[in-house]
Structure 1
């Protein structure tokens, strides 16, 4: 989830969107490509494995890309589009912290899929992104789960469409945003556990160091040293490349990197879920996969309002 916010959803638009989503999501199924591209999951798995071997941030960046795609205009790979006029989602300031290896992971997986004659131009970028996110999780030690497929790619990507959570959001603001996607507080907390992977730029949390009483003082001193020598810190410094429940244990100790992470523990309404996930990794994994499945149904496009892009970076 990132880390800037400039406006809020129009309430009416959210209501209309939520009413329409179940209709499109009904087309999704885990066996969607069984006859169209039977080797799809193995191809994506192999490609993502190669990407993750080449770059330690490829996995976390691909997982984050999935959220940034689905949370804006739905899961339609519009985050991948590069418009010649510069007006596209990834060039919105809210998305400038998305890392190139994430995009490259999707492009490489798409190329690998299209290298199979049976699959060529038959698999959407949106579905490849959903599968790559699952691989990023499972290949980092997290749960392997079945991914619903059958999304079409969107044709439109604009800077103005990007509305995302901000690092200083409180629990009410977080819940409001996620409820607009049809997700519950439990879904939001489980998805936040994805911050067990990857890093955040120092600019997103430096203002908390030494000023936020919810941050452990030793952790604050450690971050001050880290950011004096580099531009980022790991969201979970103990196992930054491992998908586990240490994120929640860190929150219990005042070692949440972002304000929007630590608030999940400081607010008593969400603390119980954090405590439960910290001591029950299996439940966290189960709830995370459920939340990822629900996220993957947001704003799904059909043949009527989407396409299968030949190049993920440009509409056909």
Structure 2
């Protein structure tokens, strides 16, 4: 009887150890590539810096790719997969088609980092996470410790992308609900929306706002109407904030002045629960930088594939 109890106790201890080990080893870590490829992060940074120096807008595009990847079944590189007979590509989702860009830069990073590592070691999902951080830094924003160790998915879902990526006409409650479904709170919503301090948006995404909304500065609306006609001109681009090539707090200052470009932007400062945070970020760049970094880390932890899950793609556009 005593020996059977000992055996049972030993089995239980072993199972607990294995469970803990699985938990420990499945966690993301900023040091994940320290031994397998010490040159990985510097290589990614070098390619991103060169791309941003060539075209400032690409920094916003790379940041957006990471966001749109993480919001669809987690941060797994699924957005990068091209359409095939078995892949219903997220590139064709409403929020991405003729809009998401920067895929060629991701290809350049993948090629350079694989060469630096001597073999495919760094996942495409991790490349997106690091490139997002390096883009923010290249545009004048603060850095953060990117958690690493994600693996790449072998599937994609256009329908899930259509359902999960927030739309530019969302109101505050829709935004809060959308972020909550990803495990993100109101602070994350406001901080991550600050990514709109860089980049451009198409006329089709703000046309209804400038011609119909009342919570918009009249001079700002008039200025936009000269660029974006009531009919036609859907692909004409306008900056998301007044300093679109710099990662700063102008986005929030603009919201306080009712000069948010998208309806979903101005929803953050429209008499609701997020007003105070928008106001704080508008004059406290340290608070914004700190919270943005924390929220990027939190977003990067949405359902990552780790351990033996998924794969390390040889080509970010295709499954191995």
Which residue matches 1:144? 143
Which residue matches 1:8? none
CA contact (8 A) 2:26 2:306 kept: no
Which residue matches 1:242? 246
Distance of 2:37 and 2:180 partners within structure 1: 34
Distance of 2:236 and 2:174 partners within structure 1: 27
CA contact (8 A) 1:36 1:119 kept: no
Mean Cα displacement is larger for which, 80-89 or 140-149? 80-89
Which residue matches 2:84? 84
Structure 1 residue 97: deviation in Å? 4.4
Query: Which aligned segments of 4 or more residues in structure 1 are displaced greater than 4 angstroms?
Result: 22-26
CA contact (8 A) 1:62 1:136 kept: yes
TM-score between the two structures when normalised by the length of structure 2: 0.87
Which residue matches 2:238? 233
Structure 1 residue 99: deviation in Å? 3.5
Structure 1 position 261 matched with structure 2 position 251: no
CA contact (8 A) 2:26 2:307 kept: no
Is the partner of 2:238 in helix, strand or coil?
A: strand
Distance of 2:106 and 2:223 partners within structure 1: 34
Is there any run of 5+ residues in structure 1 with no aligned partner, and where? 1-21
Which residue matches 2:109? 109
Which residue matches 1:18? none
Provide the aligned length of Structure 1 versus Structure 2.
292
Distance of 1:25 and 1:287 partners within structure 2: 27
Is there any run of 5+ residues in structure 2 with no aligned partner, and where? 1-21
Which residue matches 2:207? 206
Distance of 1:115 and 1:188 partners within structure 2: 37
Distance of 2:118 and 2:215 partners within structure 1: 51
Structure 1 residue 24: deviation in Å? 9.1
RMSD over equivalenced CA pairs, Å = 1.7
CA contact (8 A) 1:25 1:297 kept: no
Which residue matches 1:282? 286
Structure 1 residue 158: deviation in Å? 2.5
